[in-house]
């Protein structure tokens, strides 16, 4: 089926606009997954190029956003295969982003949460960033990462529990109450 048959001119324009508007979200997730701004930018560029050149493969235009994130997930897998790295939580290098002392309390909280997410195993980090930060449904995340919905749910549960433990430990070291600063997400 030709692209002109699947997408009308207005649909093609809408698709290109969606792809362009998704860049910031794609970058946030790529950065959360890699902790490397240059690699994250490369992944986004590769994702957008593949999406634009393969838009005819998109069967459901309503699922375009999830399709973009699946492309990016596959690009990251390809990157790690090319580097011959094995994705394992034990082998991930954690980047510690220290903030200046003059940052506000809110920025310090954001830094602590980011550090806690970085300490999670990679699979849990992926699921938490997609569900809790970007608002994807469990089904969409399962489609993006090409895993069963039950696996998404179990990784999310374990990841949230690990985050709670990490953040509770951080606050207890500072003699602050985590209950006053944490809100229940779902």
Task: Confirm whether pTM is higher than 0.75.
Answer: no
What pLDDT, in 10s, does the model give residues 135-160?
899 999 999 999 999 999 999 999 99
What pLDDT, in 10s, does the model give residues 88-123?
555 555 554 554 444 467 777 777 888 888 888 999
CA 65 to chain centre: 13
Contact 59/135 with Cβ under 8 angstroms? no
Indicate the Cα dihedral angle 68, 163, 137, 62, nearest 10°. -20
* Joined tokens for residue 32: 């959360």
pLDDT at 52: 81
Q: Average pLDDT, stretch 15-19?
A: 76
């Amino acid at each position: 089926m030709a692209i002109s048959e699947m997408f009308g001119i207005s649909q093609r324009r809408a698709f290109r606009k969606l792809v362009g508007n998704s860049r910031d979200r794609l970058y946030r997730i790529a950065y959360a997954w890699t902790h490397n701004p240059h690699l994250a930018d490369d992944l986004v560029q590769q994702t957008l190029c593949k999406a634009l050149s393969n838009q005819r493969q998109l069967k459901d235009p309503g699922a375009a956003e999830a399709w973009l994130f699946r492309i990016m997930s596959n690009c990251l897998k390809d990157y790690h295969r090319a580097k011959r790295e094995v994705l394992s939580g034990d082998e991930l290098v954690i980047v510690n982003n220290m903030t200046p002392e003059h940052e506000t309390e809110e920025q310090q909280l954001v830094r602590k949460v980011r550090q806690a997410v970085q300490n999670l195993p990679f699979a849990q980090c992926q699921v938490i960033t997609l569900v809790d930060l970007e608002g994807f449904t469990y089904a969409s995340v399962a489609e993006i990462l090409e895993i069963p919905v039950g696996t998404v749910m179990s990784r999310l549960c374990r990841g949230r529990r690990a985050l709670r433990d990490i953040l509770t430990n951080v606050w207890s070291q500072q003699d602050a109450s985590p209950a006053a600063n944490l809100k229940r997400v779902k």
